[in-house]
Structure 1
Amino acid sequence: MFFLFFTATSLQTHTTSLNLLISATDNMVFSAPLRILLLCLLHFSTRAVSEDVDPVILQRIITRFHQNLGLGQYTVVFRVDRNICLENSTFPDQNLLARVTNTVQSNGVYDEDNLVAAKAYPNQHSEYRLRNLLGNILNVPNQCVVYFSVNSPCLTTCLSNGPYNIQANLVGLRNYEGIKALAFRYIWQHDDKQALKNRLNVIAPHLPNYLCVINTHRCDPL
């Protein structure tokens, strides 16, 4: 008997190889235990690389941002170590919150390699102000990326096919190789929940979407 051990990162590296191996052996004869072993490795490798954010931890992180950035529409996109999205931590700490708050409340765009943030500005939605700033965040795989907006991206502008849409950002988030989530406090008041779900599924299928209602213990899948 033998045992195989893989980290989440190494499992991601081997997923493609396992797929190819199983495909190549479809017409070959293997003992039942060996074939089961191969299928189990593929199953657990897929589970490892598609791990979801902990909804309780997500709510705590969003609450810290919300307590400092206050009322009004704003968007924050950040990348952190995957463990921060799975275990309790001090993220975001007070120093980071102070920097982000000072910039955003002055109508500026906070832009660092692992976090960008902005609030709505006349004639510009907060999501749209960040549309060209996600490259550095999405370029580092195997971590955790969260796209948080107070209100859900609206159907008539952000999720439309018009000139101010953010579809490319959502597709990029969907394709990110690591933990990822789109989250918001409220569904935009002029939109219908089911219509929003349908549109998000068209733009970015299988992207985890969460509704993080204020004063609740956890975020819930949309």
Structure 2
Amino acid sequence: MLIVSGIIYLDVQSIESDVNPASLAKIIKYFSTNVQPKTKQGKDTQYAIAISVPRSQCTDEHADIQKVFSKRDATHVKDELSKGQKCLLCTESRNVIAARPNRTTKEHSEHVLLYPVGESPMYMLLEQADQNRCVVFYSYNSPCVHKCIRGQDNILDGLSNWMNKRKEGMNALVFEEIWQKDITKNLQEEFLKMNVVVPLYRCKRTSDGMECQKCVENNNVDTFCLPEKKK
């Protein structure tokens, strides 16, 4: 149990099996290389993607992600995102959903995939993901404090619905960059809120490729997952 700002959160992570960070790094690097959409200026831009894979993909760092998400399928997802379209189990393997933010409604990409609860793209993905599979939900930027965590249209209920369907499954919520408007904020409390619902990880690009770490251990947020302190 965790108490944050007077609110009690029941920690469900004790029944979860941890994802191997090295295995996760291979999956996220694959997303980065083959799916990551770009701006017109060629810079990486925000999107969210979720994938259901055999558990071994999240535990065995030698597992080949292409066997369950081919480069052809990855290219198709990237093309759909580049056109502003959603991927709703749009690949041959039917194990991937993805979206960019909705420019018209300003709905964030994480929210697009998680809502409406019970009818969302994530719900469609989870309907065919048994407890022997691993579900990874990745957002390029960390879920923003103003809308995704504290706002009326926050994603916490959507994350709870995910976990309610997969209480004994292997799951990971992953981000790469800190959302630029949150860099100066104290994110420890916000990340704790998400982690008590679903295990939170961060992945960073390195000279060797990609490094991932679990963000929370014993209710403490690892500095790896927080903005770098200004020197």
Name the structure 1 match of 2:72: 95
Shift of 1:204: 5.2
Q: Any conservation in 2 of the 1:137–1:145 contact (CA below 8 Å)?
A: no
- Name the % identity: 28
Q: If each structure's strand is expressed as a fraction of its own residues, which one has the higher value?
A: 2
Q: Distance in 1 between the 2:63 and 2:56 partners?
A: 9
Q: Which amino acid aligns with 1:187?
A: I
The 2-side partners of 1:97 and 1:193 are apart by 34
Residues 133, 195 of structure 1: CA spacing in aligned structure 2 closer, same or farther, 3 A cutoff? farther
TM-score by length of 1: 0.70
- Determine helix, strand or coil for the equivalent of 1:165: coil
Query: 1:98 and 1:193 mapped to 2: Cα distance?
Result: 35
Name the residue aligned to 2:123.
135
- Do residues 170 (structure 1) and 159 (structure 2) align? yes
Residues 126 and 162 in structure 2, CA contact (< 8 A), matched pair in contact too: yes
Unaligned runs of 5+ in 1: 1-45
The corresponding residue for 1:205 is 196
Count matched residues: 175
Q: Is the 8 A contact 1:171 1:204 kept in 2?
A: no
Query: Residue 141 of structure 2: which of 113, 134, 151 is its match?
Result: 151
Q: What code does the residue aligned with 1:105 have?
A: S
The TM-score, its normalising length taken from structure 2, stands at 0.68
**Separation of aligned partners in 1, 2:46 and 2:97:** 15
CA distance in 2, matches of 1:51, 1:218: 20
Letter paired with 2:95: N
C-alpha distance 194-182 of structure 1, shift in aligned 2 (>3 A): farther
Distance, in Å, in 1 between the alignment partners of 2:205 and 2:145 is: 22
Cα deviation per residue 1:6-58 (whole Å; 9 max; x = unaligned)? xxxxxxxxxxxxxxxxxxxxxxxxxxxxxxxxxxxxxxxx98x6221110111
Instruction: Provide structure 2 residue ranges, at least 5 long, that are not aligned to the other structure.
Output: 1-12, 37-43, 115-119, 216-231
2: CA distance, partners of 1:179 / 1:173: 11
The corresponding residue for 2:8 is none
Q: Say which SS state the counterpart of residue 148 (structure 2) adopts.
A: coil
Give the CA deviation at 1:104: 0.9
Distance 1:193 1:138, change over 3 A: farther
One of 165, 173, 182 as aligned partner of 1:182: 173
Distance verdict in 2 for CA 1:107–1:217, change over 3 Å: closer
Give me the whole-angstrom Cα distance separating, in 2, the residues matched to 1:130 and 1:148: 11
**RMSD of aligned Cα (Å):** 2.3
How far apart are 1:69 and its partner, in Å?
Answer: 2.8
Deviation at 1:85, TM superposition (A): 1.0
1:114: how far off? 2.4
User: Compared with structure 1, are the counterparts of its residues 203 and 184 closer, same or farther at alpha carbon in structure 2 (3 Å cutoff)?
Assistant: closer
